[in-house]
Amino acid sequence: MNRTIKIYIVFLVLLLIGIIYIDATRPKPINWTPTFDISDKIPFGLYVFNEESKGIFKDQKVNRIKETAYEYFEEKYDYDTLINTYTVKGTVLSVSKEYLIDDESTQEILYFADHGNKVFISSSNFPQKLMDSLKFEYSSKFINSDTIFAWTANPKLNPTKYNIAIGASNSYFNKIDTLTTTVLGYQGHKKEKQVNFIKIPYGKGEIYLHTQPNVFTNYHLLKNKNADYVASLLGYTEGDIYWLLKNQSGEVISNSQMRYILSQPALKGAWYILIFGLLFFAIFNAKRKQRIIPILKPLENTTVDFTKTIGNLYFQEGNHDNIIEKKTIYFLEKVRNEYLLDTTVLDENFEKKLQQKTGKKIEDINRAIYLINQYRKNYHQSIESDLIALNTAIEKIFAKENDTKES
């Protein structure tokens, strides 16, 4: 290992140590990402809500569903004609920044409510399928204020107004069916008031929709007495709770083996520095040490030239018998291989079969077979005209169709 490489290695090691030290000693910034994950302790995670769920849902069993609502509840339905209902009862709960429940599960949730159960969904948006089925619409309006309050419609239930400005969504219900829908809560500032919590009857059950899921996060549950507001919202639930958790955070988990390294800022930075350092080192050294690659000419195919040379040698020596014999052998060998004909007896039957195989004129085939048989019976030395006649006859048989037309 030369001195230059040692300097590079020492420089990279010192650089990595410096980055790790700076990252370890600096204060970590607060992660305000709204993950809505029950394991996240960041401001907009649901760790506190998950831990306090036993106290919030008193005398109610909380079932955390990590599969889709369709997969879970479809198995709980008894199709017996005498029963024809779900084997479980209670309330479906979904809390997420965005509505991430698939269409099949949405329909299954509606079926569940239709059979006398309840559904509680807190999200900043809702799908068209749900709006069409429940006859409501929502909209968004930005409120430029540091104080956005949320409160229940029934002052006897909870008269307090809670500040939910941090992380609050701009969504509210702007159109509802007043004959069937009940307004349960509002949001707003000063004289402005918007509907953010409604109850809609569906079949034998009820569906509760709420537009401010941020109130369930760690930040708001630990602030002042905001937990009382959450308790008043969930006071409408009954029976066992079926909390839908699949895909609620909206986070797609990578299957890469580098998942953990890339998820940690310090390790991620060190990894990229290592990769780029090695790449820089390889490029820098390649320019200095790479030898010139010589150009090698490909080997020439001399088979045709060799054949021409041997043919000219026979022809110049006047050994026509030898060439005729090789022409005959070549002709019969090609007939055996390409047309699968027996060449032991070259008679009229053989000529008909060869004509059927090749599609050539019977006169040309008769001519070639006649010359071959004559050569075999001939006992005197052949002359140049005999060779030319045989070669011409054989070429007519093996000539391609286009060549035959041109000739």
381: in domain: yes
Residue 284 CA from chain centroid, whole number = 37
CATH of the domain at 51: 3.40.50
Other beta carbons within 10 Å of 254: 11
Do residues 16 and 270 lie in contact, with contact meaning Cβ atoms separated by under 8 Å?
Answer: yes
Q: Is residue 80 part of a domain?
A: yes
Whether 94 and 132 share a structural domain: yes
Percent of the chain with pLDDT strictly greater than 90 = 44
The span from the CA of 216 to the CA of 400, in Å, is: 85
**The pLDDT of residue 8 is above 90:** no
- Kindly tell me if the per-residue pLDDT of 308 is higher than 70: no
| Pairwise CA distance, residues 362 & 346, whole Å | 14
What pLDDT was estimated at residue 376? 76
pLDDT band at 310 (very low <50, low <70, confident <90, very high): low
69 and 177 part of one domain: yes
- Mean pLDDT calculated for residue range 16-27: 80
Written as one letter, the residue type at 10 is V
Q: Where are the alpha helices (DSSP H) in 178-233?
A: 218-221, 226-233
Per-residue pLDDT, averaged over 4-33, amounts to: 81
| Neighbouring C-alpha atoms within 13 Å toward the C-beta of 337 | 6
The three-class DSSP label of residue 85 is strand
Contact of 76 with 87, CB cutoff 8 Å: yes
Residue 40 lies in a domain: no
User: For residue 101, what are the contacts with CB-CB under 8 A and spacing of at least 6?
Assistant: 68, 69, 94, 109, 127, 244
Report d(CA 210, CA 233) in Å as an integer. 9
**Would residue 250 count as lying in a domain?**
no
Which residue type, as a one-letter code, is found at position 90?
A: G
**CA terminus-to-terminus distance, the chain:** 74
Going by C-alpha positions, the residue among 334, 324, 319, 322 that lies closest to residue 375 is 324
Sign, CA dihedral 239-240-245-249, equals positive
Q: How confident is the model at residue 84 (pLDDT cuts 50, 70, 90)?
A: confident
- The answer as to whether 368 is a domain residue is yes
pLDDT above 50: residue 405? no
- Whether the Cβ atoms of residue 92 and residue 117 lie closer than 8 Å to each other: yes
Q: What is the pLDDT of residue 255?
A: 55
More confident residue, 251 or 346: 346
Task: State how far Cα 305 lies from the chain centre.
Answer: 56
Taking 3-state DSSP, the helix, strand and coil percentages for the chain, each rounded to the nearest 5, stand at 45, 15, 35
Same-domain pairing of 326 and 262: no
On whether both 322 and 397 belong to a single domain, the answer is yes
Q: Is 37 a domain residue?
A: no
What pLDDT sits at residue 37?
A: 92
pLDDT digits (tens, 9 = 90+) for 27-64: 878 889 899 999 999 999 999 999 999 999 989 999 99
- Which position has the higher pLDDT, 110 or 304? 110
Q: Between the CA of residue 29 and those of 36, 45, 96, 221, 263, what are the distances in Å? A: 19, 16, 24, 21, 15
- Quick one: which H or E segment has residue 172? strand 171-176
Looking at the fold, whether 112 and 92 belong to one and the same domain comes out as yes
Residue 308 domain-assigned? yes
Residue 236 and residue 265 share a domain? no
Tell me: pLDDT of 404 over 60.
no
Q: Alpha-carbon distance 193 to 303, whole Å?
A: 95
DSSP of 135-153: TEEEEE-----S--EEEES
**98 with 184, same domain?**
yes
Q: What is the mean pLDDT of the chain?
A: 84
Tell whether 210 and 262 lie within a shared domain. Answer: no
In this structure, the answer to whether residues 158 and 191 fall within a common structural domain is yes
Q: What is the count of structural domains for the chain? A: 3
Which of 240, 161, 244 minimizes the C-alpha distance to 196? 161
Which pairs with CB-CB distance under 8 Å and at least 24 residues apart come from 12-19?
Answer: 12/273, 12/274, 12/277, 15/273, 15/277, 16/270, 16/273, 16/274, 19/266, 19/269, 19/270, 19/273
pLDDT value, residue 401? 46
Residue 250 pLDDT? 47
Has this prediction a pTM greater than 0.85?
A: no
The pLDDT of residue 340: 85
Task: Lowest mean pLDDT of 50-59, 101-110, 141-150, 255-264, name the range.
Answer: 255-264
Q: What phi and psi values does residue 366 have, to the nearest 5 degrees? A: -60, -40
Question: For position 358, what pLDDT does the model report?
Answer: 85
CA atoms of 256 and 170, how far apart (whole Å): 36
3-class secondary structure, 288? helix
Instruction: Report the distance separating Cα 282 and Cα 206, nearest Å.
Output: 67
Domain around 143:
47-244
Q: Where are the alpha helices (DSSP H) in 290-342?
A: 303-317, 320-339
Residue 314 lies in a domain: yes
Residues 190, 329, single domain; the answer is: no
Domain identity same for 11 and 120 = no
CB 157 within 8 A of CB 126: no
- Supply the pLDDT for residue 252: 45
Q: How does pLDDT run across 118-127, given as a tens digit for each residue?
A: 999 999 999 9
The verdict on 272 and 196 lying in the same domain is: no
